[in-house]
Amino acid sequence: MSDSRKFSVNKLAELVDGTVKGDGALAIVRIANLDQGGDNEVAYVENEKFFAAARDSKASCLIVKKASGAELSPPAIIEVSNPKLAFSIIGAALNPPKQREPAIHSTATLADTADVALTAYIGPGVCIGDYAAVGASTRIEAGVVIGDQVRVGSGCVIHPNVVLYDGVTIGNNVILHAGVCIGADGFGYVRGGMGYHKFPQIGTVVIEDEVEIGAHTCIDRAALGRTRIGRGTKLDNMVHVGHNCDIGERVVIAAQTGISGSVVIEDDAVIGGQVGFGDHTRVQKGAIIGSKAGILPGKIVRPGVWWGIPVQPLAEYKRMNAHIGRLPQLREEVKQLKRKLAELEEKFAKD
């Protein structure tokens, strides 16, 4: 939840480097869908496919692509190069994050050696360990557990029931949603005569600036060294990142993806939901992996669009799917050929 604000159309246009047509003094208080917009609300028109809905929209202001809104006549228009991005920026301005006054709740437990900035908010039931540090204007919500020697940067939002194990590092302006667990032991065992022996899990986790991690996502500490999530990367809910993974900057990973240990995902990669990674795979910069794909251990995924199990270039995956779709027809054709062959064999036998 957030506290809403009010801006003029002119002011909103300044935020997104847009051009105003119509009533620039009109006050806008909310964002809305095209079909649900009303007075003092702004919606966006992504492309010409939505022009019919835009013509029927009651929103006071529409965000459109430059030189494309001539046939639209709302009270105000903001022309931009990327309407969806502009709408996101305007939405953030109209709905800023909830603010907390600096405070430490009476039920919070802080170690004597913890270093908490005076402008931080520490909520009910929070536990902060020895030599941990919390930066300026960071908000720690109810039930969060921060282990010994953890470093949390400034401007972070740590939602309820997050667990940060000992020794992990969180950068600035990081958002961790409810139930995130960072720094648990990796799944590392060595088979011995009496079963499995735990391999040492004594590394750390580094979460860089501007990262957002969805609810109930788990990021394991490195066995030795570090597990890293790069600057600006966004992880969805229920993603698992195994030990010693190195995920680059501006990567996006959708829900229920599982990443085995020592995987490298380079900058700007895009990973769909429910993708499974074998250990020691590498995803190169510019690669896009579709949902439910499976990457075998040690595989290198090069730039381009990939899909399927095992993962393959999209063109090959589509050809294979087309062949699989014809299997029922092919089966009938084979049955007919077998019948004809049997008839020919019977005829030749008689002759």
Is residue 309 predicted with pLDDT exceeding 80? yes
Confidence category of residue 64, pLDDT binned at 50, 70, 90 = very high
Is residue 11 predicted with pLDDT exceeding 80? yes
| Annotated catalytic residue, options 159, 216, 243, 280 | 243
* pLDDT at residue number 290: 95
* pLDDT at residue number 322: 79
More confident residue, 98 or 254: 254
* pLDDT at residue number 218: 98
Report the chain's mean pLDDT, rounded to a whole number: 93
Sign of torsion over alpha carbons 137, 138, 142, 145: negative
Average pLDDT for 153-181: 98
Kindly calculate the radius of gyration of the chain based on its CA atoms and give it in whole angstroms.
Answer: 27
* pLDDT at residue number 176: 98
Is residue 324 predicted with pLDDT exceeding 60? yes
Is residue 351 predicted with pLDDT exceeding 80? no
Gap between the Cα atoms of 171 and 265, Å rounded: 19
Q: Which pairing describes strands 276-277 and 294-295: parallel, antiparallel, or unpaired?
A: parallel
* pLDDT at residue number 67: 77
More confident residue, 328 or 120: 120
CB-CB contact of 98 with 2 (8 Å): yes
Is residue 48 predicted with pLDDT exceeding 70? yes
Confidence category of residue 31, pLDDT binned at 50, 70, 90 = very high
Taken as a whole, the chain contains a residue count of 351
* pLDDT at residue number 345: 84
* pLDDT at residue number 2: 52
Confidence category of residue 69, pLDDT binned at 50, 70, 90 = low
- The C-alpha torsion from 14 through 20 and 22 to 27, rounded to 10°, is -20
Is residue 41 predicted with pLDDT exceeding 70? yes
Is residue 288 predicted with pLDDT exceeding 90? yes
Supply the pTM of this predicted model: 0.85
Cα 62 versus chain centre, distance: 27
CB-CB contact of 309 with 299 (8 Å): no
Is residue 7 predicted with pLDDT exceeding 70? yes
Taking each continuous run of H as one helix and of E as one strand, the counts in the chain are 5, 41
Gap between the Cα atoms of 125 and 37, Å rounded: 41
Is residue 3 predicted with pLDDT exceeding 70? no
Is residue 265 predicted with pLDDT exceeding 70? yes
The token pair that represents 171 in the structure block: 């950068």
CA atoms in the 13 A half-sphere facing the CB of 124: 0
More confident residue, 220 or 194: 220
Is residue 143 predicted with pLDDT exceeding 70? yes
* pLDDT at residue number 148: 98
243 is known as an active-site residue: yes
Asked whether the bond before 310 is cis by omega within 30 degrees of 0, the reply is: yes
